[in-house]
Amino acid sequence: MDQLLILFIAIPMLAFFATLLWQNKSERAIGKIVRFAKVSNILVALSFFVWWMVKSTEPVSYKLATLYETDHFVFAIQLYYDEVTAVFSIVGSLLFFLVATFSKYYMHRDEGYKRFFNTILLFATAYNVIILAGNFETLFIGWEIKGICSFILIAFYRSRYLPIKNAFKAVSYYRISDVALMLAMWMMHHLTHQNITFPQLGEAKEIATATGQSGMAVFIVCMLILPAAIKSAQFPFTTWLPRAMEGPTASSAIFYGSLSVHIGVFLLLRTHPFWEDMLGVKITIIVIGALTAIIATLIARVQPTVKTQIAYSSAAQIGLMFIEVALGFHWLVLLHFAGNAFLRTYQLLVSPSVLNYLVHHQYFHYTPPKQQSVSKIKASLYILGIKEWNLDSMMFTYLWNPFKWLGKQLSFLRSNILIGILAVAGIALLIIGYTNQNIIPSSGDALPLVLMSIALAVILFAFSFRQAALKAWIYLLTAHSFIIAAVLFNASHVNLIEIIFYISGVVLAFLLGYYCLHKIKAIDNDISLNRFHGYVYEQETTGFLFLLAAMGMLGFPLTAAFVGIDVLFTYIQSDQVTLIILMALCFIFIELSAFRILLRIFFGPHKKNYHPIAYRSS
């Protein structure tokens, strides 16, 4: 019976591939596939829950496959089912059905009808992978896919300026959470010297206590709280949530009202056995939740748009859930999650009708408000609420601007000769690093730091580069060569197959992306990154292929590079703080640089005047 856990993932995945075979105008066929998938998902979720309750309510674990295994590393797809999974799966299946049924009519005759349901089904797959994950590696696969689905749906109206801008803002925060989760996996590997499953987290805590590695344990927990706070829009990352509401109302309901936004709570629940005895961690989670609940409530009360009000209200409730998790009230958290998810879904789905009624009511029954004296405290809180406590501007000023400024200071990398020298040097260092692994580590830690610093410098320059997209794309491949070389010079031995995993995925992605950009350049010889071009109007297939290339370039679970990157992280030792920081920054800004190229060239308002243009105020 435990093998039936595969059905949770297989049903939406097969439905996703089935809908790819139909055209956008085939709404009836796509709708039937989606409804069949959702009804099947409900039946599977309820049937498995009943069987599990009748059996013994003991957690169920099932190893689906082992993708890669060596003496020191195992990459396995592990599934796990317990009471947390049961609640999240039943609530998720019911809400998917409701939103899919609503969307059939809401998205009728929309030019993105098929694209919407493709993405929703892929998100359903990712959601089930996350809640059924039995180890960090499996959870990370769903985590990455869910982030891409979110990005696609925020940028659903891809010819408008604001959806594109906000999609990039959201994916920027997502990438921080992705890399933080990778760092938690990296340190957990060094703590336990194995790839542990979630049921073994209690043992990992005992290992940390017995060996006196409390610092490693604290680092792991910090790297778990950070992605949880980001994904659940907790302080100080709350402002991305209302910006993510740029997509269709139905996607806002399923993503940012009900399911996706609660994944941070799920992560804390799943990893609770590891940090349940750490008082400082509990206090930190409580403080984050309390600050979010207070600030988000004050913001929600004065916002002029319904989606923004709902977004901040949901974030405030999740802040309370963070407090409940820290206090150990897990069943209360699950009930709170179910109630908040259904409520926010309902509010978002009925919001267009409510707004229509309120506008009509105001038109016929308007009465001017009475003048009232307002205290300075109320006025201050009102202004802070309207400005969203300046959280957005502070994050931009202190988190992103320093890196953008640093990239602009590296303008000397613009030279074609210099980038050619770096590309050749990167390849040469790769060859030297692999062929002389047994003697190179004796040279010290300086060389890996230098190579990783060069990689980061090249990536930051590409991140701020505003000229030819092809050139920026080449910079990213060059940076990858220096990253691998730094790892090779840092380790005493790296298996050849692991390097092939990494290089094969990145090179294939680079070639596909280069082909797409070269094809666009042939149209009018203009693919600068100084403006939006909107080529998705006329080159939709090319835009989709470049999206795949961008995902492959950052190690998305699409190519073997996903496994290769995960393995190469383990070759950096736990005490090499500077090196791991540099590597983490590299993988954050590689994604942002690749997606920036995607958005600038293919998305946004079309630059030609024979297409309708949506201005920034839209």
Q: Which residues contact 356 (CB under 8 A, 6 or more apart)?
A: none
Instruction: List the one residue out of 316, 263, 261, 265 whose CA is nearest residue 292.
Output: 316
List pLDDT tens digits, range 312-345. Answer: 999 999 999 999 999 999 999 999 999 999 999 9
Average pLDDT over residues 124-150: 93
Average pLDDT over residues 440-466: 84
Could you give the CA distance from residue 578 to residue 164 in angstroms, rounded to a whole number? 34
User: Can the peptide bond before residue 248 be classed as cis, meaning omega within 30 degrees of 0?
Assistant: no
**What is the DSSP-derived secondary structure letter of residue 56?**
T
Q: Residues 1-23, buried b or exposed e (16+ Cβ, 10 A)?
A: eeeebbbbbebbbbbbebbeebe
**Cα–Cα distance list, 596 to 451, 512, 526, 531 (Å):** 24, 17, 16, 11
The reported pLDDT for the residue numbered 249 is 86
Average pLDDT over residues 92-107: 90
List pLDDT tens digits, range 398-450. Answer: 888 999 999 989 888 888 888 889 889 888 988 888 887 665 554 557 889 99
- Is 90 exceeded by the pLDDT of residue 480? yes
CB 459 within 8 A of CB 479: yes
- Is 70 exceeded by the pLDDT of residue 595? yes
- Domain ranges (residues) in the chain: 2-356, 409-602
The reported pLDDT for the residue numbered 608 is 76
Average pLDDT over residues 77-86: 93
Q: What angle do CA 62, 65, 68 make, to 5 degrees?
A: 135
- Is 90 exceeded by the pLDDT of residue 84? yes
More confident residue, 128 or 73: 128
Q: Exposed, middle or buried: residue 178 (CB in 10 Å: 0-12, 13-18, 19+)?
A: buried
Give the predicted TM-score (pTM) of the model: 0.93
Q: Which two tokens stand for residue 577?
A: 């703080």
The reported pLDDT for the residue numbered 618 is 44
List pLDDT tens digits, range 507-559. Answer: 999 999 999 999 999 988 888 898 888 888 888 899 999 999 999 988 888 88
66 φ/ψ angles, rounded to the nearest 5 degrees: -115, 110
CB 135 within 8 A of CB 195: yes
The reported pLDDT for the residue numbered 442 is 47
Q: Which residues contact 561 (CB under 8 A, 6 or more apart)?
A: 501, 502, 503, 504, 505, 506, 509, 552, 555
Could you give the CA distance from residue 521 to residue 17 in angstroms, rounded to a whole number? 31
